[in-house]
Amino acid sequence: MLSGGLRARLDALLLCGFRPFFLFTSAWSALAFAAWLAALGGALALPTVAGGALAWHAHEMALGFGGAALLGFLLTALPEFTASAAVPRRQVAMLALLWLGARAGFVLGGAPGQWLAAVAECALLAGALAMAAPRLWRDPARRHLAFLWGLAALLACTVGYHAAALGGGQQLAWLNAAVGVMMVFIVLALSRISMRVVNGALEERGETAVEYLARPPRRNLAMFCIALYTVVELLAPLAPVSGWIALAAAAALFNLTNDWHLGRVLFSRWVFMLYLVYWLMAAGYLLLGLALLGVPLSPSAGRHLLMAGGMGLSIFVVMNIAGRIHAGVPLERGLRVPLGAGLIVGAALLRAGYGFAPLLLLGAAGGLWVAAFAWQFAAAWPVLSRPRGDGQSACAGLREDIANPVA
């Protein structure tokens, strides 16, 4: 039997899907990256997994860290988007245990660990898909079905990865495809979040004559180019045509930023951090495209701008917006979030320049990344492990009488 205090803590953690998964995201990001750095320095032996240490690191960043953040967002956002009930605590607990089971499999290593990770991770995404499908399909307007197709694509990449790991195939190709799916998810999610954030900042500044719209043509073009690049890269790795498509994806993402050019509001803290995500993603595809077309650049630079930059920063900002609003706590006004975002951007830029001074830049990038997400966990734990104090239930947003700064 659990003690009263532990029971209350567990109840609070399972109150809404983002609570355990956002904590998993920040904690595992810091721990897994610290382990990777320690292994590179010879101070730690990583688990024995198919593909070696590099495959473990890439997987845990793309599907461990990224997957936890995505599930935290979807378990909270989909009930709101579809005007349906919050995901029951029992389902949240089951998905959380599956995520932990996948991590345990990779820590265990060897064939038994590989099978445990494969079963748990595939069941995790299949369970999320089963949770999301009825809600998205029953929505009369079916405005959010793209999330359903995205989940199905991520599940396919995960199955492909584990099949390759168990059968001796090319695992990294499937992880690269999973990163592409995550990039599409970022554009999808930010288009919803930015409407509230940018217009809220405009309202707070008194600029009510201007309205921000996440225009579908630009958004859809960016997602199409990213998806096309992902498919072509999976089917024909290193083909020159994929370089041109990567450049098209970069151009489409740069074009998407034009929706944000509404004057000085762009430099409001939350608005600018979200805006910067698109620049990092565009720069990532730009470097990938140039590398594939023969420019003497490492494709790794582009990939890390996508993952550490675009994915890392978007996850960090969304956790600090949704993770507080849906816990009944106003957004932070202090320096912690901008400094944390700066650490992540610095880590991404340093990692992209890895080829110039490998050991120095890799260590510096890793240190900034670990510091940012360890700091995030320390700040989020007191909020997400306690019951709401604003009288709202489950995943509801802030009460109207509680200040919600977005500038």
* pLDDT single digits (tens) 131-151: 999 999 988 778 889 999 999
Instruction: Work out whether the CA dihedral 373, 305, 301, 304 comes out positive or negative.
Output: positive
- Check pLDDT > 80 for residue 172: yes
- Flag whether pLDDT at 305 surpasses 90: yes
CATH topology of domain 8-384: Cytochrome C Oxidase; Chain A (1.20.210)
Expressed in percent and rounded to 5, the helix, strand and coil fractions of the chain are: 75, 0, 25
pLDDT value of residue 9:
84
Distance CA 156, CA 83 (A): 28
What are the tens digits of pLDDT across the range 30-48?
A: 999 999 999 888 888 887 8
Whether residue 358 is predicted with pLDDT greater than 70 in this model: the reply is: no
Tokens, residue 19? 């609570």
pLDDT digits (tens, 9 = 90+) for 240-294: 999 999 999 999 999 999 999 998 999 999 999 999 999 999 999 999 999 999 9
Residue 184: count of CB within 10 angstroms of its CB: 21
**Pick the residue with more confidence: 7 or 270?**
270
Q: What angle do CA 216, 221, 227 make, to 5 degrees?
A: 120
Supply 229's token pair. 């690049």
For residue 298, the model assigns a pLDDT of 87
Of residues 313 and 407, more confidently modeled: 313
Residue range 374-389: mean pLDDT, rounded? 93
Q: What whole-number distance in Å separates Cα of residue 38 and Cα of residue 153?
A: 33
- pLDDT of 220 > 90? The answer is yes
Model's pTM, two decimal places? Answer: 0.94
pLDDT score of 391: 77
Q: What beta strand segments (E) does 128-277 contain?
A: none
The pLDDT of residue 66: 96
Q: What pLDDT band is residue 129 in, cutting at 50, 70 and 90?
A: very high
The whole-number pLDDT of residue 390 equals 80
DSSP conformation class of 267: G
Q: What is the mean pLDDT of the chain?
A: 91
pLDDT top residue among 108 and 372: 372
- Across residues 162-179, what is the average pLDDT? 93
Residue 359: pLDDT band (50, 70, 90) is: low
- Say whether pLDDT at 403 is over 70: no
